Amino acid sequence: MIWQCRGRAFDLADRTLVMGIVNITPDSFSDGGRFFTPEAALGHARRLLAEGAEVLDLGAESTRPGAGPVPADEQWRRLSPVLETLARETDACLSVDTASASVAERALAAGAQVVNDVTALGDPAMAGVVARAGAGLVLMHMRGAPADMQRDPRYQDAAGEVAAHLAARLDDARAAGIERDRVALDPGIGFGKTVQHSLELLARIETLTALGRPVLVGVSRKSFVGHLLDLPVDQRLEGSLAAAAVAVFLGARIVRTHDVAATVRAVRVAGALRAARVAQEPAHD
Ligand code: HH2
């Protein structure tokens, strides 16, 4: 299974990509303010690359529950010095975590290869921007907006509804000229989901892998881990690793994380276990 991101093609048939998170924000839920200056963000980005991240996801707008939107010009003011420097000094794949087509367009012009859109084409101009650049695209499921998404989210069948929503967005992307092999799909853990919904989405990840595209999961330090273990954000590493490993074993191919070194190790073992299981399955013809 190939994920095509501009000139780059990731073959994810039997390996897992680790995407390191660089939050250039004052208010992100787990590391807000730590990497807000360009110097701090660059230092963090270089560290994540040294730890084995193959993709860096640069974000300038927190999407934590209750957060409001950050204007496009302010997002770009935060992103540009970091993105422009990284594009010059590394050939790592750079992703921009934005729901704004105008921010995405500027980031792609500055050398980003992927747009990570937590609104799955909520901005009507986004699909055209991604199509014209030939960029990779992450379509994430969210119910509601960060400001209100955790107010009593309800589903009859969370896994089925999330898959149907992402299948429809995948069709929209295709209709706008974005080839299927450019798209990765993400259930949006914690975005308009209770703890139980997040668990169900991870445990039934095959409802998403069945759509034939690489599945990305973002479980790192998320509140479902905190609820299960009754631990604050700075003590959720082991729980996050367990969730990432199980998701990879069940078929996820891209893991978005704050803790790259530990995640690279965990998903390598989980991926080897998945491969061993697949090798034992009877051939289907
Ligand atoms: N989670 C966050 C942000 N962006 N993108 C995708 N595709 N999937 C996710 O699960 C996801 C995401 C939230 O995490 P973080 O970036 O650490 O926090 P904040 O939004 O507060 O900056």
Pair type for strands 55-59 and 17-23:
parallel
For residue 72, the model assigns a pLDDT of 98
Residue with tokens 């003011």: 77
pLDDT at 285 over 90: no
pLDDT at 284 over 70: no
What is the model's pTM? 0.96
Considering only residues 235 and 67, tell me which one the structure prediction assigns the higher pLDDT. 235
pLDDT at 78 over 80: yes
Q: What is the mean pLDDT of residues 80-102?
A: 97
CA dihedral 134, 138, 140, 144 (to 10 degrees): -50
**What percent of the chain has pLDDT above 90?**
91
Using most ligand atoms within 8 A of CB, pick from 31, 63, 205 the residue to mutate for ligand 1.
Answer: 63
Distance from the alpha carbon of residue 241 to the mean position of ligand 1, in angstroms: 16
Distance from the alpha carbon of residue 233 to the mean position of ligand 1, in angstroms: 14
Closest-lying ligand 1 atom to the alpha carbon of residue 31: 17
pLDDT digits (tens, 9 = 90+) for 237-255: 999 999 999 999 999 999 9
Closest C-alpha to 117, from 182, 65, 31: 182
For residue 150, the model assigns a pLDDT of 85
For residue 212, the model assigns a pLDDT of 97
Residue 78, Cβ neighbours under 10 Å: how many? 24
> Please, what is the average pLDDT of the chain?
96
In the structure, which protein residues have their CB atom closer than 6 angstroms to any atom of ligand 1?
21, 23, 25, 28-30, 59, 62-64, 97, 116, 118, 138, 140, 186, 188-189, 216, 218, 256
pLDDT at 98 over 60: yes
Nearest CA to ligand 1 atom 9: 218
For residue 149, the model assigns a pLDDT of 83
pLDDT digits (tens, 9 = 90+) for 13-44: 989 999 999 999 999 999 999 999 999 999 99
pLDDT at 279 over 90: no
- The residues that are catalytic are 222, 256
Nearest CA to ligand 1 atom 8: 218
Q: Which residues contact 156 (CB under 8 A, 6 or more apart)?
A: none
Distance from the alpha carbon of residue 277 to the mean position of ligand 1, in angstroms: 30
Nearest CA to ligand 1 atom 21: 28
Closest C-alpha to 239, from 212, 215, 258: 258
Closest-lying ligand 1 atom to the alpha carbon of residue 63: 20
pLDDT digits (tens, 9 = 90+) for 160-196: 999 999 999 999 999 999 999 999 999 999 999 999 9
Nearest CA to ligand 1 atom 5: 118
Q: How would residue 8 be classed by pLDDT, with cut points 50, 70 and 90?
A: very high
